[in-house]
Structure 1
Amino acid sequence: MIDALQGLPSNPPSLYVDLEGESLSRHGSISLLQIYASPRDHTYLVDICALGARAFSVRGAGGRTLKQILESASIPKVFFDVRNDSDALYGHYGIDLSGVQDLQLMELATRTFAGRRFVSGLSKCIERDAPLTAAERLAWKAAKEKGLRLFAPERGGSYRVFDERPLSEDIRLYCVQDVRFLPRLWSRYDARLTPMWRQRVRDAAAERVAQSQSADFNGKGKHMALAPRGWC
């Protein structure tokens, strides 16, 4: 897998990343890491629950590790709200993310229908902005609903399903669906970014990573829905 993630185009970005886990943070756990490589149209599911630190230290044929890819400033990685993912990766494995592009910030920067006081969630962005066919939209909603019923506590589920092996087909599909439409959102938002807002998004993404690594970072609460300071 490591070799398949190298040598890919950087503009548009090739790698789209998400994580799953119970109370995803330095205080919780990481179960899975999903990487969608858009030029290959393939989603890689990395079993962090089973591999632990080895997932980030195994070298590919070219000598690089997943940790080095995640920390490389020259390899763009697209996340949707990087904060809790970064908190978990840094807290558990010392991974200092770099080259991050945050879709949540890109949406906020290009928003025209309302103010910029609050950020949007991924589901809302996909429903509103991702150019999906009717069949794709139906499949995405079905996979999302099945996944939520299995892992969301408020729906009677448990996040521990991400640690069950073999991984259920419904959870596998949920994980794949979570990242495979991110490139379409990136294209939509990137086309609308002005040079000024592009720089502000870049700076805010780096600030989110830095904040997530601070000793007093709290990734839960109403403050997580607020726009970066000065964006309103």
Structure 2
Amino acid sequence: MSSSAEIKVTSNEEVVDFLASFLDRTTIKVGEPAATKPKPLESKSLESKYTFVDTREALSDAIDGLVDLPSSPPSLYVDLEGNNLSRHGTISILQIHVRTTGHTYLIDVLTLGSLAFSTSGILHAETTLKSILESDQIPKVFFDVRNDSDALYSHYNISLSGIHDLQLMALATRNPGQRRVISGLARCIEKDAPLSHAERSRLAAVKAKGSALFSPEKGGSYAVFDARPLSGEIADYCVQDAAILPRLWSHYDGQLSKVWDGRVRDMSRRRVKESQSPTFNGKGQHMALGPVEWAMLRK
């Protein structure tokens, strides 16, 4: 038996969470108290109702449900799934969770193609999914926007705007000196998400069933996101990944001062811009590092 153990990581999130495990994840309130922030409308359950949108008619109806929503706190929480989600892969599904209604839309980008972004609403004929994603006036919450932005920009020429990156919000709540390495979504949920025991149990079960189908390390394949009809296990996984985001947003937002909120928004914009660069590489250990200038800030 060897006296040393080989550490093997197989995905960006595993790299992120492995490095983050060496950090003290103690958080402090940074600036103004949570009591000064507006009380958010929470989805009452992670078992969000959802609509699978794979026709232009259904998409037009969905678009009408995504406009004229409150912007503070944000109403739209977005995630993407695909086969090697990047400029080199595909976008299969775009999930949008609406905080005010607790409803999640699973947009079938694989089937709709460019129509997913050019189809307008019925009551809002001037609005498309592209215009929503590119509007600086409509806040959208992502967790680590970089690969999502890379894929959207490369395949559909969508330049995201109005982005709140939850991963950066989580990093901003850490103590000074602990902002060098970021955390993945799984670790943020484990450490910070305000969930009941029953909710955590269900979340773990849904994640286990989904990852068993798509994770290559468990004998699965990301091609399951391209299978139609979409399996119930994968649909549940997609819905849950988006429905958990409002809980995390509320947790982190309550700890951010106006200064740090501004830094998060500025860095979110920078992440989008960097993801559009011809030299952007969305895989590797560099993706686990936080902004260099944040690591040096003492408050």
**Partner of 1:81 in structure 2?**
144
1:17 is matched with which residue: 78, 88, 95?
Answer: 78
Query: Which structure 1 segments of 5+ residues have no match?
Result: none
Aligned 1:211-226 pairs, distance under 5 A? 211-226=274-289
More helix as a share of residues: 1
Letter in 2 for 1:79: F
**Partner of 2:266 in structure 1?**
203
Aligned 1:63-142 pairs, distance under 5 A? 63=125, 64-112=127-175, 115-142=178-205
Change (3 A) 1:113 1:210: closer
1:152 is matched with which residue: 189, 206, 215?
Answer: 215
Letter in 2 for 1:95: I
Letter in 1 for 2:112: L
Q: Distance in 2 between matches of 1:195 and 1:66?
A: 30
- Runs of 4+ with >4 A deviation: none
Q: Does 1:50 align with 2:105?
A: no
Aligned 1:27-42 pairs, distance under 5 A? 27-42=88-103
User: Is the contact made by 2:180 and 2:292 (CA closer than 8 Å) also made in structure 1?
Assistant: no
TM-score normalised per structure 2: 0.76
Alpha-carbon distance, 1:112 to partner: 3.6
Q: Distance in 2 between matches of 1:18 and 1:114?
A: 30
Alpha-carbon distance, 1:37 to partner: 0.4
Query: Which structure 2 segments of 5+ residues have no match?
Result: 1-61
TM-score normalised per structure 1: 0.98
Query: What SS does the corresponding residue of 2:292 show, helix, strand or coil?
Result: coil
Letter in 1 for 2:106: L
Alpha-carbon distance, 1:195 to partner: 1.6
Query: What SS does the corresponding residue of 1:227 show, helix, strand or coil?
Result: coil
1:115-145 per-position Cα deviation (integer Å, ceiling 9, x unaligned): 1110000011011111111111100000011
Change (3 A) 1:114 1:154: farther
Change (3 A) 1:94 1:72: same
Which structure's CA Rg is the greater one? 2
Q: Distance in 2 between matches of 1:85 and 1:187?
A: 22
Change (3 A) 1:40 1:34: same
1:209-231 per-position Cα deviation (integer Å, ceiling 9, x unaligned): 00000110000000000001211
Letter in 2 for 1:219: G
Q: Distance in 1 between matches of 2:224 and 2:176?
A: 37
1:90-112 per-position Cα deviation (integer Å, ceiling 9, x unaligned): 00000000000000000000024
